[in-house]
């Protein structure tokens, strides 16, 4: 079984490209709150398969995973994910009843600073980008320069929970509102590389299980079940439409719908699902590595 040190060494080699003469890929990591722990498994699976990743983009929780990978800090993120309990989650809920949000986000920002410092996008090992939504223009904003921590916070600023982030005249909230799977962002920072997308929202049939929606229920569905299932269906369709508008070279849709999107305590299972998804689709992913630049969309 590979150790954390093995992963760190392999990850550094993959990022720096010292082992490969073959073409690399770019990875677009989609949003999905707690389901984003599966991104760690995807990146681990690519690592184990010796698939060189030379650029990464992320939306929402995918932005966090993307920057941690590009900074060589995936080990730190994995330790946090695997150790997360409901009690630890409560420590991040710094209630702050002010206009625009219920949570302050200060604890999350301190955690980001602790693990990433004041690093800039330009200082990362590989090109990386995060995606947020501008509430003023209604357009996605791709951030690939400047400090990474505010960019991550903007990409994860769930409307109503966290205050929008002001940056360069923009009023930014969670990028999943406009670009749930950031394929376009990956192509902006790595136009010559084939893009592997990772969609956390595509398993609606599994989602019905977690929201307790049944074909023939014993009694009427609860109001909360209907609202949750409808919201998840909306998010699934938004992700599907996003991938139609900007199709990747290969789309990976993870079977994570059975896990509640707010349950951050199931990292072990989610990481293994992400890793196994890569292994199951490895022939198609390996084909991307050998894809010639003029064949890339």
Q: Which residues are catalytic?
A: 60, 174
Give 237-285 as a DSSP string.
Answer: HHHHHHHHHS--SEEEE---TTS-TT-TT-HHHHHHHHHHHHHHTHHHH
Contact 8, 68 (CB under 8 A): no
Q: 61: part of which helix (H) or strand (E)?
A: helix 61-70
- β-pairing, 140-143 with 160-162? unpaired
Length of the chain: 297
Distance of CA 102 to the CA centre of its chain: 23
| Rounded Cα gap, residues 18 and 46, in angstroms | 16
């Amino acid at each position: 079984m590979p150790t954390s040190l093995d992963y760190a060494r392999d990850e550094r080699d993959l990022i720096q490209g010292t082992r490969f003469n073959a073409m690399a890929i770019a990875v677009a990591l989609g949003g999905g709150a707690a389901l984003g722990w599966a991104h760690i498994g995807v990146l681990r699976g690519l690592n184990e398969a010796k698939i060189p990743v030379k650029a990464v983009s992320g939306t929402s929780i995918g932005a966090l995973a993307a920057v941690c990978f590009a900074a060589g800090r995936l080990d730190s993120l994995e330790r946090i994910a695997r150790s997360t309990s409901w009690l630890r989650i409560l420590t991040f809920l710094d209630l702050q009843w002010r206009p625009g949000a219920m949570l302050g986000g200060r604890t999350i920002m301190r955690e980001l600073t602790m693990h990433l410092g004041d690093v800039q996008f330009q200082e990362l090992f590989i090109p990386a980008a995060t995606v947020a939504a501008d509430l003023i223009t209604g357009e996605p904003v791709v951030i690939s320069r400047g400090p990474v921590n505010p960019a991550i916070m903007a990409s994860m600023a769930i409307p109503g929970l966290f205050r929008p982030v002001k940056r360069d005249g923009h009023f930014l909230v969670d990028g999943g509102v406009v670009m749930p799977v950031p394929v376009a962002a990956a192509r902006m920072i790595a136009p010559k590389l084939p893009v592997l997308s990772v969609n956390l929202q595509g398993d609606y049939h599994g989602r019905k299980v977690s929201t307790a929606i049944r074909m023939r229920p014993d009694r009427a569905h609860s109001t909360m079940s209907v609202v949750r299932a409808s919201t998840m269906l909306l998010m699934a369709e938004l992700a599907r439409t996003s991938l139609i508008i900007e199709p990747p070279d290969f789309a990976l849709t993870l079977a994570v719908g059975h896990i509640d999107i707010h349950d951050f305590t199931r990292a072990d299972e989610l990481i293994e699902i992400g890793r196994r998804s890569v292994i199951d689709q490895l022939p198609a992913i390996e084909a991307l590595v050998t894809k010639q630049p003029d064949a890339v969309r």
